[in-house]
A and B are shown apart, each in its own frame.
Chain A
Amino acid sequence: MSEGGAATAGLFFDLGGRIAQTLVRLNAAREVTVGCSAKQPVWSRGKTTLYRYLPLTAIAPPERAQHARGGRVRARPGSARPAPVLICFALVNRPYVLDLQPDISLVRRLLEAGLTVYLIDWGEADDADRGCDLEHYVERALGGCVEHVRGAHAGAVNLLGVCQGGVLSLIYTALHPRQVRNLVTLTTAVDFQTPDDLLSKWVRGVDTELIARCGNLPGAALNALFLALMPFRLTQQKYVRLLLSGADQRAVEEFVRLERWIFDSPPQAAAALTQYLRWFYQENSLVRGTLEIGGRAVNLKQIRQPLLNLYAAADHIVPAAACAVMGRHVGSRDYTGCAIDTGHIGMYVSRRAREEIPARIIAWLRARS
């Protein structure tokens, strides 16, 4: 055998060993748990549940302080506590990615900073929910959550909208500006027809009335749609990188936690999904000022509260250009837009984002508490 042939044979032998070892680790990580911070349900309506995270009293103060990179958020003089943060996640994914594991948890960083954190879980839409439309999600579900948190804390809330949840948060804030003290959006599109928006191109010719009559969209179909945006990277390359990275059991478990989230899209209520496709992707009504929810015009200029808009510079689902223009469309004079050098999922889990994003949010809120 030639020297090159021997080297190649050695590579194949090595590869076989790595594949076997990684498979063993993946199997061992199969039952990995997701979500790490303690929370309790405090309110529900239909399938929507509002959770309140418990304060991190179990963690020793020095350790907590070390984690809270943005420092603790202090209340305004005269007020008892800083306003609570209500996290409104997307309908198309599960919110536990914000609390995946102790060192990858935006929720935990906010708790460490002394903030009270609430999270909306939209639940699992079933056939009985096929008629749930965007008005239901904005006014009844999100609105109900805001009302509950305001009731419990006697004042306006800090609303943190993530991805599609950011769009719902923008709509809610525009319709109910007095209910929200500060608004933070993460990977949130306002212009749904930027040239690099592939989803927008694909759904432009879809007959939404017809699709709505077919019923709820299963989560698996939604997963497939997102994977189809970059199929080779998302269904092939990341696994090969895992194979060649020599990942230990802990790294493999971390990988599986994220995989579990990626493949865990909930079913989508037919009415809300098709409205979202038509009003945003097909009609771009948010920036055109033609959106109406429950018969009320949604005018983004009504959003006059401080607004922090964080988005990913290399986002394949919500292009940066779709988010970056938010400042032009809202009425807020205290607007901060910031592109983070990562991708869509990286905004929740990348090493850079897991430090930078909580620190930015905490510091920004601290300055406005």
Chain B
Amino acid sequence: MSTPFTTGPFKPEAMFAGAAAGFYELLKAFGPQGAAAPDLNSLSRALGAQLEQWLKSSQAPGPSFWGSPPLAAGAGFVPTTATGSAPDARATWDLLMRLAQLQTQLSAQWGEIASGCAQRFAARAGALGAGALTPESALKLYELWVDCAEEAYAERVRSEEFASLQGQLANTTAELLLLQRRQAEQLARAFGLPTREEIEGLERQLRELREELEESSGARRAPRTQPRPKPRPKPHPKPRPRAAPARRAARRRGRRPRA
């Protein structure tokens, strides 16, 4: 069965196979009952357990970007005093523990969703009537199951509790990643390798140079409001005067001083 909330390379056949397997499992749960009326309560509980497993099988700690592989990748890197300072190692352990607690809370939310879905399904499936499964009745059953799952999911994930949990997961994962990055940078420095900080400094300089270059070349191209004239050679384009230092510095910060 496919796992929720994780996407890798584009493989529609894999997604399809996962969904088809889920559909098959659902039908199998109903199939052996044949024409006899199924015990909807126990069936729904079993299906709910399957759903919970599906939700928990996600590799990510949350359904959104904080669980993304790059952010969560650091979770496997546990520093020791050999790779960083003792306070950093302690801080990392604290964050890992915090993350584990949050994931436990998230897991409880998945359980609530699964049980909410099972309850809804048990209450409504009876209306579909018993009888042999046909492609049409199978689809109806499946659509009902999806409706129940989405309703239970929406109710839970729209709660303040869930939203707050997501925020905490995002922030804790980011803190962990940044702390581990700092430790990795210490190692890189020790080996004389360029660090992220240094590369970012170079990127900043490159961007500023690029902007200045574009500005100066933009100044040579007067904005056109009339139809484009035939190109004529411009032997000595006059560059626009450079902006005043304060204004230039403000632009680098992404803000222009108000006139």
Residue numbers of A with Cβ under 8 A of B are 2-5, 7-8, 11-12, 14-15, 19, 22-23, 26-27, 29-30, 45-46, 127-128, 130-131, 133, 135, 140, 147, 150-152, 154-155, 198, 201-207, 210-211, 213-215, 217-218, 220-225, 227-228, 230-233, 235-240, 242-244, 255-256, 259-260, 263-264, 292, 294-296
Identify A7's interface contact among B134, B139, B171, B225, CB under 8 A.
B134
Identify B22's interface contact among A131, A218, A236, CB under 8 A.
A236
**Is the CB–CB distance between A295 and B250 below 8 Å?**
yes
Flag whether B6 is at the interface (Cβ < 8 A): yes
**Shortest beta-carbon distance from B141 to chain A in Å:** 11
Which residues on A sit within 8 Å (CB–CB) of B23? 15, 236, 240, 243
Interface Cβ pair total, 8 Å cutoff: 226
Given known A-B contacts A130-B203, A235-B15, A263-B10, A205 and B166 have beta carbons under 8 A apart: yes
Dominant SS at the B interface?
A: helix
Chain A minimum-CB-distance residue to B15: A239
Flag whether B7 is at the interface (Cβ < 8 A): yes
Which residues on A sit within 8 Å (CB–CB) of B230? none
Flag whether B95 is at the interface (Cβ < 8 A): no
CB within 8 Å of A: which of B219-243? 223-228
Chain A minimum-CB-distance residue to B203: A128
State the CA gap A210–B24 with chains docked (Å): 43
State the CA gap A152–B66 with chains docked (Å): 44
Which residues on A sit within 8 Å (CB–CB) of B207? 128, 131
State the CA gap A23–B4 with chains docked (Å): 20
State the CA gap A332–B154 with chains docked (Å): 36
Which residues on B sit within 8 Å (CB–CB) of A214? 70-71, 174, 177-178
Dominant SS at the A interface?
A: helix
Flag whether B81 is at the interface (Cβ < 8 A): no
**Is the CB–CB distance between A154 and B65 below 8 Å?**
no
Which residues on A sit within 8 Å (CB–CB) of B257? 295
State the CA gap A135–B252 with chains docked (Å): 11
**Is the CB–CB distance between B67 and A224 below 8 Å?**
yes
**Shortest beta-carbon distance from B69 to chain A in Å:** 7
Which residues on A sit within 8 Å (CB–CB) of B214? 45, 140
Q: Provide 13 A-B residue pairs closer than 8 Å at the C-beta atoms, listed in order of the A residue.
A: A4-B132, A8-B132, A14-B135, A128-B207, A130-B203, A152-B228, A154-B227, A205-B167, A214-B70, A218-B69, A221-B65, A227-B7, A243-B20
CB within 8 Å of A: which of B61-105? 63-71
Identify A151's interface contact among B10, B15, B149, B228, CB under 8 A.
B228
Proximity bits, B1-45, A CB within 8 Å = 1, else 0? 010111110101101111110111001000110111000000000
State the CA gap A217–B2 with chains docked (Å): 23
Given known A-B contacts A27-B13, A214-B178, A225-B64, A294 and B255 have beta carbons under 8 A apart: yes
Which residues on B sit within 8 Å (CB–CB) of A152? 228
**Is the CB–CB distance between A264 and B10 below 8 Å?**
yes
State the CA gap A26–B11 with chains docked (Å): 9
Given known A-B contacts A147-B223, A151-B223, A201 and B163 have beta carbons under 8 A apart: yes
State the CA gap A11–B63 with chains docked (Å): 34
**Is the CB–CB distance between A217 and B65 below 8 Å?**
yes
Flag whether B206 is at the interface (Cβ < 8 A): yes
**Is the CB–CB distance between A2 and B150 below 8 Å?**
no
Which residues on B sit within 8 Å (CB–CB) of A204? 163, 167
Flag whether B124 is at the interface (Cβ < 8 A): no
**Shortest beta-carbon distance from A91 to chain B in Å:** 14
**Is the CB–CB distance between B163 and A207 below 8 Å?**
no
**Is the CB–CB distance between B10 and A259 below 8 Å?**
yes
Proximity bits, B181-213, A CB within 8 Å = 1, else 0? 000000000000000000110011011001100
Identify B5's interface contact among A140, A227, A244, A263, CB under 8 A.
A227
**Is the CB–CB distance between A11 and B27 below 8 Å?**
yes
**Shortest beta-carbon distance from B146 to chain A in Å:** 5
**Is the CB–CB distance between B34 and A8 below 8 Å?**
yes
State the CA gap A65–B109 with chains docked (Å): 55
State the CA gap A292–B223 with chains docked (Å): 25
User: Which 9 residue pairs are nearest across A and B when measured between Cβ atoms?
Assistant: A205-B167, A221-B68, A228-B63, A239-B19, A4-B35, A4-B34, A7-B132, A295-B256, A4-B132
Which residues on B sit within 8 Å (CB–CB) of A15? 23-24, 27, 138
**Is the CB–CB distance between A207 and B171 below 8 Å?**
yes
State the CA gap A296–B257 with chains docked (Å): 9
**Is the CB–CB distance between B150 and A233 below 8 Å?**
yes
**Is the CB–CB distance between A2 and B27 below 8 Å?**
no
**Is the CB–CB distance between A231 and B31 below 8 Å?**
no
**Shortest beta-carbon distance from A343 to chain B in Å:** 13
**Is the CB–CB distance between A4 and B131 below 8 Å?**
yes
Identify B146's interface contact among A218, A232, A296, CB under 8 A.
A232
**Is the CB–CB distance between B150 and A3 below 8 Å?**
no
**Shortest beta-carbon distance from B210 to chain A in Å:** 7
